[in-house]
Amino acid sequence: MRKSKQETSETRQRIVTSASVEFRQNGIHQTALTDLMAAAGLTHGGFYRHFESKEQLVAECCGVAVDSMVETMEVAMAQRTTQGAIEALVASYLSTRHRDKPGMGCPISAQGSELARSAGGTRMAATHGILKLVDLLAKQFENLPPDAAKEQALVAFSTMVGALTLSRIVTDPELSITLLEQAERHLVQTLSNSI
Amino acid sequence: MRKSKQETSETRQRIVTSASVEFRQNGIHQTALTDLMAAAGLTHGGFYRHFESKEQLVAECCGVAVDSMVETMEVAMAQRTTQGAIEALVASYLSTRHRDKPGMGCPISAQGSELARSAGGTRMAATHGILKLVDLLAKQFENLPPDAAKEQALVAFSTMVGALTLSRIVTDPELSITLLEQAERHLVQTLSNSI
DNA sequence: TGTACATCAGTGAACGCGCGTTCACTGATGTAC
DNA sequence: TGTACATCAGTGAACGCGCGTTCACTGATGTAC
């Protein structure tokens, strides 16, 4: 049943892609190898032909998830003024759509507290991801010194991660919306002053 | 080996207290009943004399953790001007001490993404906890209408939860500190304007 | 107040289950000649 | 270009292990008389 090199690499990619969704949706610990191999249309036994361990896959998925996140954001921001781009990024991150589809969204928000307890490799991947997302915002502040722009973006990203996480925890639907809306309003206002 | 009513209630309290530390430190899923009963000086078999399920304990621990968190904050804020109280709350939440001792700190930050996927009871306890912590800050803004004060506090709390979570994920020690410091600076500045 | 019995906190073994990982096996693919 | 053999992607059973929960048992506590 050996597969061609191309098929093999496609399979590997399929596992990573679908696993990155599963991890964000159900959590790292709650997603079993059997589940994610099934999500890729395979049985669990073949996992170790592609990866050394679950931890290695988790780290790789974190990177892939961030990259797809960055791409989504860039699409939302394209063809806009600086002001418009910032508004689009914030609105997209703090949307109810993002809140309700953690599997397609930001892995930092979706797995925050689990990442904080993860192994070094995963945390390094997450760190790179955080910096990529922060940079996406920081480079909008062309008139600020790079350091100041990065610091501004770090705080804004913290607010977005916190607000999205809280909006997913809270049982009161109104409060959940308020969290997203108020954070968005605050960020658009604050960040406009830094353009 | 039956114990007196007082001993029984003391034991129950001891389980809740030590479990709330374990859950924050190691995560909800990663903490086994055997572990937390051992942390209370007992064997796992007796667990169900006190609780209906693990989930019930998780929810109760969330409430207890928030209450102890509120108390810590109130102590830090006592005997201060409004400005000083706000600074003390923010500095305390965003301290490296808090970052490095998740077991003694805010359960929302320590378990954020796990809480978002938890059962209804746990999420309700977390929601009440969030509102308590937000209220601690909101009541400092005496000159703002209550709604505006609450919204201001919600955003500030989002920033604190996000920044603390990120500072725990990040592998670069300098970046971790920067996250805490910049969020603190931003919050003190922003919130001062609302007094 | 004393006694006889019911209650029940805590123990430790056991339950069924799912986990991450390993392994013998298969047969199609890749490679050396 | 064709052939013989080595490689290895994927399968499905099995590994040891730890999980949440249950249960028979114990003996001190609580209670009814």
Whether the pLDDT of residue A92 is over 90: the answer is: yes
Residue B180 has pLDDT above 80, yes or no: yes
Long-range contacts of B69-72 (CB under 8 A, 24+ apart): B69/B105, B69/B106, B69/B107, B69/B129, B69/B133, B70/B132, B70/B133, B70/B136
Chain A residue numbers with beta carbons less than 8 Å from the beta carbon of B175 are 127, 131
pLDDT of residue B1 exceeding 80, the answer is no
Helix (H) or strand (E) holding A75: helix A54-77
- Decide if B159 touches A, using CB distance below 8 A: yes
Residue A183 has pLDDT above 80, yes or no: yes
pLDDT of residue A4: 85
Q: For residue B108, give the nearest of B30, B20, B29 by alpha carbon.
A: B20
List pLDDT tens digits, range B35-44: 999 999 999 9
* Average pLDDT for B154-167: 98
A155 touches chain B (CB under 8 A): yes
Question: Rounded CA gap, A130 and A13, in Å?
Answer: 23
Q: Which of A29, A134, A177 is nearest to B111 (CA)?
A: A29
Nucleotides of chain D in contact with protein CB (under 7 A) are 7-14, 18-24, 26-30
Closest nucleotide relative to residue A57's CA, C1' based: C20
B165 to A165: CB separation less than 8 angstroms, yes or no: yes
Which of B152, B166, B167, B182 to substitute to test the interface with A, most A CBs within 10 Å?
B166
- Mean pLDDT score of chain B, rounded to an integer? 96
Is residue A1 predicted with pLDDT exceeding 80? Answer: no
**Tens of pLDDT, residues A17-65:** 999 999 999 999 999 999 999 999 999 999 999 999 999 999 999 999 9
The answer for A 49-78 residues in CB contact with B (under 8 A) is none
Amino acid at A130: I
Q: Higher-confidence residue: B194 or B18?
A: B18
Identify the band that residue B161 occupies on the pLDDT scale cut at 50, 70 and 90: very high
Return the closest-CA partner of residue B152 out of B191, B107, B114: B191
B13 backbone dihedrals φ, ψ, rounded to 5° = -65, -40
Q: What is the structure's pLDDT at A140? A: 95
The reply to whether A43 has its C-beta less than 7 Å from any atom of strand C is no
Partner residue opposite A113 with nearest CB, options B110, B159, B183:
B110
Main-chain phi, psi angles of A2, to 5 degrees: -55, 140
List, for residues A71-86, the tens digit of each pLDDT value: 999 999 999 999 999 9
Of A110, A120, A159, which has the smallest distance from its Cβ to B159's Cβ?
Answer: A159
Asked if pLDDT for residue B96 goes beyond 90, the answer is yes
Q: What's the number of CA atoms in the CB half-sphere (13 Å) around residue A138?
A: 18
Number of Cβ within 10 Å of residue B4's Cβ equals 8
- The reply to whether B33 Cβ lies less than 7 angstroms from strand D is yes
Q: Quote the pLDDT of residue A194.
A: 86
* Residue (of B136, B164, B133, B150) closest to B66 by Cα position: B133
The nucleotides of chain C lying under 7 Å from a protein CB are: 7-14, 18-24, 26-30
| Closest-CA residue of chain A to B129 | A170
Distance CA B164, CA A19 (A): 27
A41 is near strand C: CB distance < 7 Å = no
What is the model's pLDDT at position A195? 83
Residue in A113, A171, A179 closest to B123 by CB? A171
Does B94 contact A at CB distance below 8 Å?
A: no
Is residue B28 helix, strand or coil? coil
Over residues B167-178, mean pLDDT: 98
**Which pLDDT score is estimated for B194?**
86
CB contact under 8 A, A166 and B165: no
Side-chain half-sphere CA neighbours of A44 within 13 A: 8
- Residue A3 CB neighbours (<10 A): 11
- pLDDT value at position B129? 97
The model's pLDDT over B63-88, given as tens digits with 9 standing for 90+, comes to 999 999 999 999 999 999 999 999 99
Contact B170 A26 (CB under 8 A): no
